[in-house]
Amino acid sequence: MAKTIRTQVGIIGSGPAGLLLSHLLDKHGIETIVLERQSRLHVEGRIRAGVLEQGTARLMREAGVNERMDNEGLVHDGVSLAFGNRVERIDFRAHTGKGVIIYGQTEMTKDLIQARLNAGKAIEFEAPALAVEDYRTGTPRIIYEKNGERHEVICDFVAGCDGSHGVSRQSIPAEQLTLFEKVYPFGWLGILAEVPPVNDELIYINHERGFALCSMRSHTRSRYYIQCALEDHVENWSDEDFWKELHRRLPSAAKDQLVTGPRLEMSIAPLRCFVAEPMRFGKLFLAGDAAHIMPPTGAKGLNLAASDVFFLSRALTAYYAEKRTDLLDRYSETALRRVWGSIRFSLWYTSLLHKFDEDPFNHRIQLADLTYMTGSEAARTSFAENYIGLPFEKFE
């Protein structure tokens, strides 16, 4: 073993979950190390979601990494839903007094990495964790590789923030995990382009050809998605094909506003929902995508990573400050309650907007649901409070 590092909390993964956790613990004087399999360039180049709930933005401020988010992020006070020949806006601010922030996860990740490096704290890039050992009863160890050599981190706790294909969950014996999974028979084909968005706010579209979403990263950069077949490939789509199909699905009023341009990125994301329970095994804690994957409808994935980190950072801080273990003991139950709360919303919202089959009966039911949802004060309020994010504290 070439190198042994000792720290208080060993964090695997430098996605939003791992990075945010490292900052929040740092604020309380808790020592961490972050191990990341990929290079910094790779991590900072990944195009991911872009809607920050209230609570997520608050955590960024608590971490002290909010300058660019607050300067460049766009505050959105509502979204529009297009269905039939109608477009209905839901006003978050009117119903909840709050909005969401449009700020790319990619930018958030860059900010968190830069701030950690500026503070003189390490992130070991290109350092894949290979295994987590002795987390049940002893002193946990993370075995990792760097420059072809094996090293180890010895720590009090391990935070498995290494996404859905990470090593943390894989280190847990299968019989101790309960897995829940739902796979959808379609995906989202997404484009990112340097063109002004078609609308000031997001438009979610239920169309007879399939779902579409008009989103953005800034006033000059748009992100659009269209529902596609699971077996489809990016190679099947020229930029022109994409814009044509999107144009077909847009509500009439938006069609003239669409500005097209060459792709910066195009990708297909399959839709699925996955949860692994529990989220704690002795001194190993899972957070974010390592424990759960959401369908992207409603943009809950990143925000759930943030809520896990909220509960975990509180629990670890209480342990180091007061030797309290009750919050650590409750972490899994608390985090999972909010996870399932978001799943409920994401799955319902997915079912409301996508084309599942050719049966016109099902489409009629979706239209009736959308009509009720946008027409009832109570239903609009319920939608708004779920979209802007259920308060973390409510689950503690």
Report how far residue 206's alpha carbon sits from residue 184's, in angstroms, rounded to the nearest whole number: 17
Binding mask 199-238 for ligand APR (x = CB under 6 A): ----------------------------------------
Q: From the list 105, 317, 334, 350, which residue makes contact with ligand APR (rule: CB under 6 A)?
A: 105
Q: Respond yes or no: is residue 387 known to be catalytic.
A: yes
Instruction: Classify residue 191 as exposed, middle or buried by CB count within 10 Å of its CB (0-12, 13-18, 19+).
Output: buried
Tokens of 212: 């579409």
Interface with ligand APR, residue 73, by CB under 6 A: no
We find the least distance from the C-beta atom of residue 150 to ligand APR, in angstroms, to be 13
We find the least distance from the C-beta atom of residue 241 to ligand APR, in angstroms, to be 26
The answer to whether the CB of 39 falls within 8 A of the CB of 126 is yes
Number of residues assigned to the chain: 396
Among residues 291, 273, 346, 270, which one has the least CA distance to residue 18?
A: 291
Interface with ligand PHB, residue 10, by CB under 6 A: no
Interface with ligand APR, residue 34, by CB under 6 A: no
The listed partner (ligand APR, ligand PHB, none) that binds 167, CB under 5 to 8 Å by sort, is ligand APR
Q: Respond yes or no: is residue 296 known to be catalytic.
A: yes
Interface with ligand APR, residue 343, by CB under 6 A: no
We find the least distance from the C-beta atom of residue 255 to ligand APR, in angstroms, to be 29
Q: From the list 13, 78, 210, 296, which residue makes contact with ligand PHB (rule: CB under 6 A)?
A: 296
Q: From the list 15, 16, 50, 166, which residue makes contact with ligand PHB (rule: CB under 6 A)?
A: 50
Interface with ligand PHB, residue 56, by CB under 6 A: no
Among residues 75, 299, 109, which one has the least CA distance to residue 190?
A: 299
Q: Respond yes or no: is residue 300 known to be catalytic.
A: yes
Interface with ligand PHB, residue 297, by CB under 6 A: yes
Q: From the list 9, 11, 24, 49, which residue makes contact with ligand APR (rule: CB under 6 A)?
A: 49
The DSSP result for 253-290, as a single string, is: HHHTT-----EEEEEEEEEEEEEEE-SEETTEEE-GGG
The one segment of 242-250, 268-276, 296-304, 328-336 that binds ligand PHB by CB under 6 A: 296-304
The DSSP result for 157-213, as a single string, is: EEEE---TT-HHHHTS-GGG-EEEEEEEEEEEEEEEESS--SSSS-EEE--TT--EE
Tokens of 188: 């989202």
Secondary structure of residue 225 in the 3-state scheme = strand
Report how far residue 47's alpha carbon sits from residue 221's, in angstroms, rounded to the nearest whole number: 13
Site for ligand PHB, rule CB under 6 A: 49-51, 202, 213, 215, 223, 296-299
